[in-house]
Amino acid sequence: MFEDFEAYITLQHDFTKDELKQMRSLSAVKKLRRRQFLLQEGEICRYKTFVVKGLLKTYRLKDDGTEYIMRFAAENAWSVDHESYNNQTASKYYIEALEDVELIQWTKENFDVLLDAIPALKTFSEKIKADNLDASQDRIMMNISYTSEEKYQQFVTAFPDIFRRVPLHMVASYLGVSRETLSRIRHAQIKR
């Protein structure tokens, strides 16, 4: 399984065999079945997680049980509750497997060791954080300025693989629209 991570990470930078060996030595492999939790509200996010296979969703629950999906993480994506991980505080989120998943994880302590020992990994990690910030800002802008139809089209275009793998109600939750609205949009597009 670590070979899949090596293939991914070496596309990002030309890491040495020793650096890859160090990354492997400080990692742990984890498997979850569909509907198992990687993280639950109230727990501390202790791991930076790389998805080798499968699909995760990160979400929050309102008091009435309404689910708000913040993020999907499929193959070659990272999953972490940054606030809980960085501050070692209780998470406000759930991270759940939507499919059977294979993961590689590093504890905060071990990942910090890697960041100190491997400057290129630190640079890459900072790029991922910057990309995530950009994506968050784009998503905020989309949510305050796009129509429901535009949100739907942007999701389908940006995440075609995830769109095929998740039910419509999860897409609606991610977009912040009702399932009925999304059904109406899809029906209208089919008629065109």
**For 45-103, how does the pLDDT look when each residue is reduced to its tens digit (9 = 90+)?**
999 999 999 999 999 999 998 999 999 999 999 999 999 999 999 999 999 999 999 99
Q: pLDDT value at position 188? A: 83
**Level-2 CATH architecture, domain 2-130:** Sandwich (2.60)
pTM: 0.92
Closest residue by Cα to residue 50 from 111, 120, 137: 111
